[in-house]
Structure 1
Amino acid sequence: MVDEYRTWLRNGLLVRHDSKKNYEDHYKKKMAVFDNGVKFNFGITTVNDKNWFYMLSMDGQLWNDEHIDVIFYYFQKKGKYDKRNNFSFTTVDCLFKQRIDVVHHAYRNVKTQTNVANEEQVLIEYVKGHRLIANVPWHTFDNVLIPVNIQEENHWLLVLLSFKDRRLYVYSSYQSAGHNTVVRNEIKKLATLLPHFLHLAGFYVNQKA
């Protein structure tokens, strides 16, 4: 099956498909769009272009938010429905960290005129389990998986919020002095705001109940 997928993925590729920077189409003319209007439905998005799979599967390609969201959506379903797993977890999407960034910026800049009431309410909805497809209230699980994009480094990392340990664990495939500083600054935003929104969402009360 994997071999068939690789053959399908390479069918119609441009000769110099991997040398084009910031160029979306890696396939010959009309070879990227599926025949007869076929689409892949991944629950939270539909795909009808092989370039999406190219970016997902080929070396050296950067995954975008949609790739990460699809992967974490299926992680979320696994955490919700697979009771054989001793690791109790749920997930968020890429927008979660972006909303944290917006609120954090507004909180730090008290003179700003930006109204973040909507962003605050959305973050509360994440915790209550009202925001995403197949979402669940956070107090019913032990961990939350959070994707974080370090834009300065073009790098994705995983943050694990552990309620039992009351810690944020950071998993990254790359380390350097400068990179670690950037990562630390991003994680501080989560460390600062997560307890606040857990409280606003009634997490601690529900967890004890």
Structure 2
Amino acid sequence: MEITRTALATMVDHTLLKTDATHAQISALVAEARELGTFSICVSPSMLPITEELGEVKVATVCGFPSGNHTPAAKAAEAAESSKLGADEVDMVINIGLLKEGRADLVEAEIAAVRQATPGLLKVIIESAALTDDEIVAACRAAEAAGADYVKTSTGFHPAGGASVHAVELMAATVGGRLGVKASGGIRDYATANAMVEAGATRLGLSGTRAVLDGSTDDGDY
């Protein structure tokens, strides 16, 4: 069953995380998010605070992005500062190397440090395309144990790729109903977005939001 354009828009973090993004582009992002009815915008911490009128649009930012190879203290400090600057949500990148070494306990600890540092909604980026199924499950369990609100597939910057239906299904099977699941990375058309929702995604990270929404054949409400 296809999700409607209106319903899909309310699940979208309208994203601009390019390294050369300008404040003028962020202003345009905010305006477009309001026009399209997206849930939030997602921008780099250096773009905070957002001075444009947001209306109902929430503000998300990233932490330890994109490599995840920051110390837990650095990630926590970044998340705390972003929250003070108006971020409603923080998307943090885990240390993938630790997970691959079998140190899910240390991954849990770094997530817990960021959880303590921000009162807002916390999403945990696991780079699912770079993980085995067992590692995906371990990352999701660590995120849940540390008190995160969401698990998220990808930064969109890793060479292994972005979101896949299989990864979203596995993440939803592991923590769905307790944590949200955000699919992000490589979602460029409506069919792919709809497939992610059917697989269990409850939030989508999109940079080409308008093009994705324009692909919907249903302009109705929920």
TM above 0.5, yes or no, is no
TM-score (norm 2): 0.27
Report which of the two structures shows the higher radius of gyration computed on alpha carbons.
1
Bigger fraction of residues in helix: 1
